[in-house]
């Protein structure tokens, strides 16, 4: 019998190749293809038709079943991201940069869930139990009823979990787990995929909630095959800039709640502290209004958040002006500059443009277009906008301004923080009873002309 040919899998996109190469043909990533060994050592010649299995249990779609009860952690920001609390038998994947605070967050979460009566086990594959206890002492959690283990053999871990029958298990991290039935090294595609599959299946069968910690690549994506993200119920990213104390827990997938929901934390000497009003925190360091500074009222998940956008426009000493962006999409900045030059007649040729979202926040929604344009014009014309004004709206390629969703929530959040005026596109729901002084603009030309007298 001929030996089965090995297959190779890309760790970035999961594409399967028949031979190894330095570059993946599917996603274009370099040095991401690894040899993939089978998940089972059994004979590959047998098919499902040779040995039939047992019948499945079928139920009607109309069958009334009570939804599974959620367990609150006592940490409002964590519960918000999870969709209202921890769902039994759920599998959660948490990713983040090294040193961002993943282990600290999950140790605090384990102590909080244990305080709510859940039997919790924290399994560390990267640290010894004594090292985890040292962190717990520093965080003031030494009295928490959390069981600790330092192990990487998944067979031993599952055996212990089945005997202890906990309600919550935290695995830190999935890249350190290994199965003795697979010959590849821990962290390889086969090991990560098999370990995630075994833990997720165990969670569904036994009713145990499992939290997996995942490492990230240099691009910020969770390392390993993308199929791991499809296996689990919830995928959370723990984000933050090293130079800022803010940390953002963002849900990018959630089968039990809204996606793109965020929870905001502040890194302190005693661990992560919750931030109940992130808008006030992001604007706390905002001083006297200066040219290029604009406050944007955005929506993250279901929560309105106010952040400061900062722009700087300066003459360029180079033949190719610079376009530097932090916290926003660089391609969208190029689009806004092109619309300002083509539709409004404001040239930015020969000028360096720098754009920054203050506080380490990252914005992806197109509602920030008008605020970015206002910041660019404010920096270019050296004219500061009033300190009590918020700006939001989407810009089309024709120069028209489009209304955005949840206008009423954006205005309420701005009014709650003491803002008295707002600039927004025409149309859309504004609530009608907003206490803010509203300035509406139909297109970008009218906005630039009315506010800055240019164009």
Known binding-site positions for ATP: 96-103
Residue 17 · residue 9 · CB < 8 Å: yes
Furthest CA-CA distance within the chain: 82
- DSSP secondary structure string for all residues of 144-166: S-EEEEE--BHHHHHHHHHHH--
Residue 390 · residue 422 · CB < 8 Å: yes
Q: Which among 378, 375, 424 has a CA at the least distance from the CA of 401?
A: 424
Is there a cis peptide before residue 173, judged by omega within 30 degrees of 0? yes
Q: Which among 377, 381, 290, 298 has a CA at the least distance from the CA of 336?
A: 377
Phi, psi of 137 (to 5 degrees): -65, -40
**Neighbouring C-beta atoms of residue 183, cutoff 10 Å:** 12
Q: Render the burial of 150-179: b for 16+ CB within 10 Å, e for the rest.
A: ebbebeebbebbeeeebbbbbbbbbbbbbb
Q: CA-to-CA distance for 322 and 314, rounded, in angstroms? A: 10
- Distance in Å from the first CA to the final CA of the chain: 77
Q: Which residues contact 92 (CB under 8 A, 6 or more apart)?
A: 82, 209, 210, 211, 212, 232, 233, 234, 235, 236
Q: Where are the beta strands (DSSP E) in 301-396?
A: 303-315, 323-326, 351-357, 389-391, 394-395
User: How many residues make up the chain in this entry?
Assistant: 455
Backbone φ/ψ region at 117: left (φ over 0), alpha (ψ -120 to 50), beta:
left
Q: CA-to-CA distance for 265 and 78, rounded, in angstroms? A: 9
Residue 351 · residue 316 · CB < 8 Å: yes
Structure tokens at 188: 């390889």
Sign of CA dihedral 146, 87, 92, 266: negative
Helix H, strand E, coil C: the string for 104-119 is HHHHHHHHHHHHCCCC
Q: Provide the annotated binding site.
A: 96-103
**178 strand-pairing partners:** 153
């Amino acid at each position: 019998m001929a030996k089965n040919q090995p297959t190779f899998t890309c760790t970035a996109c999961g594409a399967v190749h028949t031979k190894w190469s330095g570059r993946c043909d599917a996603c274009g990533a370099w040095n991401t293809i690894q040899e993939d060994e089978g998940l089972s050592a059994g004979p590959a010649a047998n098919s499902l038709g040779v040995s039939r299995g047992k019948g499945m249990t079928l139920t009607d779609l109309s069958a009334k079943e009570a939804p599974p009860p959620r367990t609150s952690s006592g940490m409002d920001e964590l519960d918000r991201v999870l969709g209202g609390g921890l769902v039994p038998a759920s599998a959660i994947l948490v990713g983040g940069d090294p040193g961002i605070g993943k282990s600290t967050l999950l140790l605090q979460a384990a102590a909080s869930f244990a305080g709510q009566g859940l039997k919790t086990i924290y399994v560390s594959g990267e640290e010894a139990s004594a090292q985890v206890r040292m962190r717990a002492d520093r965080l003031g959690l030494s009295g928490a009823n959390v069981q600790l283990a330092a192990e990487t053999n998944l067979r031993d871990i599952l055996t212990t979990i089945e005997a202890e029958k906990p309600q919550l298990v935290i695995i830190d991290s999935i890249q350190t787990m290994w199965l003795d039935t697979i010959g590849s090294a821990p962290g390889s595609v086969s090991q990560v995929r098999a370990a995630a599959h075994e833990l997720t299946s165990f969670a569904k069968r036994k009713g145990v909630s499992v939290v997996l910690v995942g490492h990230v690549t240099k691009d910020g994506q969770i390392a390993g095959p993308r199929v791991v993200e499809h296996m689990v119920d919830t995928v959370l990213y723990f984000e933050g800039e090293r130079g800022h104390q803010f940390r953002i827990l963002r849900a990018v997938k959630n089968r039990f709640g809204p996606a793109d929901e965020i929870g905001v934390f502040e890194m302190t000497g005693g661990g992560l502290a919750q931030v109940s009003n992130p808008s006030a925190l992001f604007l706390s360091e905002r001083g006297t209004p200066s040219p290029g500074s604009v406050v944007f009222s955005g929506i993250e998940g279901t929560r309105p958040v106010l952040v400061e956008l900062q722009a700087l426009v300066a003459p360029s000493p180079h033949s190719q002006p610079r376009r530097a962006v932090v916290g926003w999409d660089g391609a969208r900045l190029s689009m806004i500059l092109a619309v300002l030059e083509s539709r409004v007649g404001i040239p930015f040729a020969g000028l360096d443009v720098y754009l920054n979202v203050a506080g380490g926040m990252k914005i992806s929604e197109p509602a920030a277009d008008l605020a970015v344009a206002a910041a660019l014009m404010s920096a270019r014309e050296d004219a500061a906008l009033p300190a009590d004004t918020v700006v939001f709206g989407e810009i089309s390629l024709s120069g028209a301004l489009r209304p955005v969703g949840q206008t009423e929530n954006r205005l309420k959040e701005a009014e709650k923080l003491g803002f008295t005026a707002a600039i927004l596109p025409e149309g859309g729901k504004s609530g009608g009873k907003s206490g803010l002084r509203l300035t509406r603009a139909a297109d970008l030309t009218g906005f630039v002309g009315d506010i800055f007298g240019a164009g």
